[in-house]
Amino acid sequence: MSDILEGLQAAFWLILTLDADLFEISLRSLYVTTTAVIISSAIGLPLGCWLALRRFRYRRTVIALMNALMGLPPVVVGLIVYLLLSRSGPFGVFGLLFTPAAMIIAQVIILTPLIASIAHQAIRDLWAEYHDLLISMNTTRGQRMRTLLWDGRRALLTASLAGFGRGIGEVGAIMIVGGNIDHVTRVLTTAIALETGKGDFALALGLGFVLIFLAIIVNLAIHRVSQTEVRGRW
């Protein structure tokens, strides 16, 4: 219990004193995760919508595979990205290993199946409701996708927020491809792992509480801006 209290005190002290390292690490965490979520959403949301509308031979197999990929072990993803971006790998010439770009790539691979799967479930239910209307209006597939994506925007925002929640707490893949380099690739999760390894549990808990506060603030801000919860709506 004393460690938790010390962690809370450390978190508030870091915030109140405007600790430069804390803000640098927090901004880098936000940058990496937000960028990965935007890219994953740009891929996953249309993919989930397309799978809800399109009928083809191996559709069920693709959906089952996508759902299975939601459980990808992050460390395995990190290892694969590491091998691809290493000097001996096919993309080693770009020099992306141990950079924020490598961390973003790993997170995109982890988050895209999650966002696409949630989007597919939401759009599939919406398509069942809108099917007869959109068919009777003789709309094109593109028009149907745009309509469903717009009308399901609140559910799709939830999918992106779920991706953000998983991404902001990711440590395994980030540690492998980023290397936890101070002032370069160190983020909140890797800093917590470092401080825990050093035995500084109070500081590690402090950083952990900052990570929780950061995730809550970002989610509340997005809900506020998008008005996902308005008066009179359950």
Residue ranges in the chain assigned as alpha helix (H) = 2-16, 20-53, 59-69, 74-85, 100-136, 141-151, 153-168, 172-178, 188-198, 201-226
Please list the pLDDT of the chain residue by residue as tens digits (234 residues): 676 777 777 777 877 887 788 888 889 999 999 999 999 999 999 999 888 888 888 888 989 998 888 888 999 999 999 999 999 889 989 999 999 999 999 999 999 999 999 999 888 888 888 778 888 888 887 888 888 888 888 888 888 888 998 899 889 899 999 989 988 999 999 998 888 888 877 778 888 888 888 888 877 777 676 665 555 454
Distance CA 91, CA 82 (A): 10
Distance in angstroms (rounded) separating the CA atoms of residues 165 and 82:
23
Q: Quick one: which of 195, 214, 118 has its CA closest to 160?
A: 118
Cα 188-9-15 angle, rounded to 5 deg: 55
Q: Residue 172: left (phi > 0), alpha (psi -120 to 50), or beta?
A: alpha
**Model pTM?**
0.86
> Rounded to whole angstroms, how far apart are CA atoms 65 and 75?
19
